[in-house]
Structure 1
Amino acid sequence: MQTKDLLKIYRWKMKQIAIITLHSIEPNYGNCLQNYAVQNVFNSLGFDASTELYRNKYFYKKDFFKMLILKLSFGLVPRTDERYNSYCKKLSFQKFYDKYIKSITHRKATDISGKYDYFSVGSDQVWNYKWYKGDDCSRFLLSFIDSPNKIAFSPSFGVESIDDNWREVYANELSKFKAISVREKAGAEIIKQLTGRNATVIADPTMLLTKDEWNKISKKPNGAEEKGYVLTYFLSPMSSEAQERLEEVSKGLKVYKLNDSEDTVVGKAGPSEFIWLFEHANLILTDSFHACVFSFLFGKPFIVFDRNGNGLNMNSRIETLLHTFHLERKYANSRLENDVWEHDYTEGYKQLEIERKKAIKFLKEALGVN
C-alpha cells in the first residue's frame, strides 16, 4: 500500500474539527496567520482540521487575472505600481491559503453539524458585533450548528461591552458552548456578565507556534535587504508622534512601510513575506496587535502606538498582551523608562511558556484529549 493511501486511512480515523473564523476579501495578515496557527495547533493535538470559509475561494486569483487580461489585451487598466502591487499582494495571499490552509468553501452559512466531531470559532475579532452583517452573527456564534461540541479558541470581541440590542442573542448562543476561551480580560468579563460563566483567557494562537515553526513558512520579498532596516506597520494613519519617532530612529537605515502599496519591495508582501520582514528587521514601529506578537516572538525591539483617531488608549487585546508578557515599556505612551533598541524579553519568554501550557491544557480538556 502506498504512503498516500496510508495517510488517507490515518486521516479517516482522526477526529475532524471545523474552524470557523473571519476571512476578509481584502488581505489581512493577522487574520490569515492566526488561521494558520489554529489549524496547526489542532493538527498537533491529533485532529484533522479544516477551515469552513464563506466566500468565493478564488476571488483573489480571478480578480488578478481579470486585471491582467484587461491590461494586456485592451489597455483599459492604467499601469501604476500601487494597483499592480495590490493585485500581486492578493495573489500572494491566495497562494498562501492554497498551500498552507486546508479549507472548504461555502457561499453562505450552512448546517455542517454532521460533518465534524468538533467545531471551533476563533480566533481574531469574530465576536465584534459592530462588524456583523446578514448571517454573520449566527455564523460566528455557531447558532447554525446543532452540536454539543462547540468551543471558542481565543476569540476577541474587539469592544469593551455588548450593545443592548445584541446582549440576548450573545447570551443565548454562548450558553450552548462546551468550553469558552477568549483573548483578553475584557472578553472574559463580557462572558461573565452575559452567561455567568468563567471564560479562560489564553494567548493568541499565533503565540503558540515557536519562531522556528514560523520560520518554516517565511519567505524573503524580492529585493529586500537582509538587515539594516526599520519596519513600520500601521493600521491607521501614522500620527505625528509616530512619524517624529520614525525620523528619529531611522537615521542611516532603510525604512520599509508594510502598508505602502507603492513600495516595490513590500507592497506585494503576502503572509510568508510578512513573517520574513519581522524576522530580519532592526526595529518595528506599529499600532497592530499581531505586529507586537511577531516582534516579541522574534526578539525584536518595537514601539507600539495608539491607533490614530481611536481615542487615547490602546484596545484591550494589546493592553493584555503587553501586561501578560512584561512589555508595558514598549507602549509609546507608557511613561516608563524604555530604551527603544532594548529587546531583553527573558521574563516575557518565561511567561510565554506558561501561557502555551495553559492554552494546550484548555484545548485538551475541551476536546477530550489525553
Structure 2
Amino acid sequence: MKKIGLITIYSVPNYGSVLQAYATQEVLKKMGTDCYIINYTYPNQWHYSIGFKKPNLKNKVAQFLGVRAIHRKQKKLQAFKKKYFHFTKEYPTLDALRQENWNKYDVIATGSDQIWNAKYLKGDSTFMLSYLPDNIKRISIASSFALKSLPPQYIDKYKKHLSKFNALSVREQNGINIINNELSIDKEVKIILDPTLLLSKEEWLNLIPRSNFHKTSKYILFYMLDYAFNPKPYIFEVTAYLATKYGYKVIALEGYKK
C-alpha cells in the first residue's frame, strides 16, 4: 500500500477548509493509499512575526467557553478533526518539516483549498513543498491560487518550487494560466473537482449523526465566500428580496455580514 503525506490548510475556523481536508484524505484512501495529514501548525510564530494577528488569552478563553457563535463553531471543527483526521506528529515550523525523513513516504501531496494564495501565505513556501529533498515525489490536488495573478515579488519563489512537482492539478482556469504563463512552467496542469465533490451524498450523510434541527418552515440557506468574486452588496439585496417574496427566513453559515 502506497503511503501518502497530505499537507493542506485545515486549522482556520472555516467549514470548507476542514471538509476539503477530510474529503482529500478520504479520496486518497479510496484509491488504496495509506494517507496521513501532515500536522503543520498554521499560522505559527513566523506568520505572527510578519503581521498575522496572534490570538490572545482572552480570545482563547472565549473560544474554550464558546462565548460567540464563531467560538462554538471552532470547538465543533476541532472535535471533528480529532475524530476523523489521520494526523502525523505535529510540526510547529517549516524548519521542523525540513528535519523530517520523508523517504518513508511514497508521495507527498498538497491541496486542495487556497494553499497557494499569496494573500494569506505571505511567502510561506510550506504548501509548495519546499522542505522536501528533490528525490521525493510531489503532487498537487485541486490546488487554488484564488487570484487572477501572482504578486511580482513571489514569482521566483513559486516558480522554483512548483517546477519540481511531478503532477499538477488545480481547481480553476486561473491556476493553469499562472503556472504555464506567469511562472513559465512547461508542464501539463489539469483542472479537477475539489475533493468535497468527489464524495457521494451518502458518504457525507453517513459521516454525521442525524441532526436535531427540525425544519418548521421553509428557509434560505446562505453560505458565501468572496475570495474570487465579490457579489456584495447585490447578494444581500437578492437574499432580502427572496426572503420577503416567499416569506422564508435566512439561515446563514458564512458570509452574511454586510
Aligned pair in 2 of structure 1 residues 35, 63: CA closer, same or farther (>3 Å)? farther
Q: 1:179 Cα deviation (Å)?
A: 0.8
Deviations 1:96-116 (A, max 9, x none): 001111112211121342231
In 1, the alpha carbon distance for the partners of 2:59 and 2:225 equals 24
Residue deviations 1:248-280 (CA, integer Å, cap 9, x gap): 3223323212248xxxxxxxxxxxxxxxxxxxx
What secondary structure, in the 3-state scheme, does the structure 2 residue paired with 1:258 have? Answer: strand
Say if 2:173 is the partner of 1:188: no
CA–CA distance in structure 2, aligned partners of residues 214 and 226 of structure 1: 23
The answer to whether the Cα contact below 8 Å between 1:120 and 1:151 also exists between their aligned partners in 2 is yes
Q: What residue is the counterpart of 1:144 in the other structure?
A: 131
Structure 1 position 99 matched with structure 2 position 57: no
Aligned to 2:30: 44
Aligned to 2:249: 254
1:44, distance to aligned residue in structure 2 (A): 0.6
1:85 to 49, 54, 69: 69
Q: Structure 1 CA distance, aligned partners of 2:174 and 2:122?
A: 23
Distance 1:223 1:203, change over 3 A: closer
Range with bigger deviation, 116-125 or 212-221: 212-221
Select the residue among 115, 119, 124 that pairs with 1:126. 115
Structure with the greater alpha carbon radius of gyration: 1
8 Å CA contact retained: 1:228, 1:253: yes
Aligned partner of 2:49 in structure 1 is: none
Does the Cα contact within 8 Å between 1:148 and 1:178 map onto a contact in 2?
Answer: no
Q: Paired residue for 2:238, among 234, 237, 245? A: 245
Cα displacement (A) at 1:218: 3.5
Partner SS, residue 165 of structure 2: coil
Alpha-carbon contact 1:154-1:201 (below 8 Å) kept: yes
- Map Cα deviations across residues 316-335 of structure 1 (whole Å, 9 max, x no partner): xxxxxxxxxxxxxxxxxxxx
Q: Deviations over 1:219-251 (max 9, x none)?
A: 555445266221112346983432332233223
Contact 2:170-2:176 at 8 Å conserved across structures? yes
Give the aligned residue type for 1:212: E
2:5 counterpart residue number: 18
Give distance in 2, aligned partners of 1:183 and 1:239.
23
Larger strand percent: 2
Q: CA deviation at 1:65?
A: 8.3
- 2:106 maps to 1:117: yes
Matched, 1:162 2:157: no
Residue 364 of structure 1 aligns with which residue? none
2:254 and 2:192 map into 1 onto residues whose CA distance is 29
The RMSD of aligned alpha carbons is 3.0
| TM-score, L = length of structure 2 | 0.79
**How far 1:83 sits from its partner (Å)?**
2.8
Q: Could you tell me whether the CA contact under 8 Å between 2:111 and 2:141 is conserved in 1?
A: yes
Which residue of the partner structure matches residue 39 of structure 2?
53
TM-score for the superposition, normalised by structure 1: 0.56
* 1:1-370 equivalence runs, <5 A: 14-24=1-11, 26-55=12-41, 66-67=61-62, 83-104=67-88, 105-109=90-94, 110-111=97-98, 112=100, 113-133=102-122, 136-137=124-125, 139-146=126-133, 147-193=135-181, 194=183, 195-219=185-209, 222-225=212-215, 228-235=218-225, 239-250=232-243, 251-259=246-254
Looking at structure 2, the residues matched to 84 and 224 of structure 1 have their Cα atoms a distance apart, in angstroms, of: 23
Q: How big is the shift at 1:64?
A: 9.0
Distance 1:167 1:133, change over 3 A: closer
Question: Structure 1 CA distance, aligned partners of 2:203 and 2:194?
Answer: 15
* In 1: Cα distance, 2:163 partner to 2:233 partner: 45
Instruction: Quote the Cα distance in structure 1 between the aligned partners of 2:156 and 2:77.
Output: 37
Which amino acid in the other structure matches residue 108 of structure 1?
T
Secondary structure of residue in 1 paired with 2:115 = coil
For residues 68 and 247 of structure 2, the distance between their equivalents in structure 1, rounded to whole angstroms, comes to 29
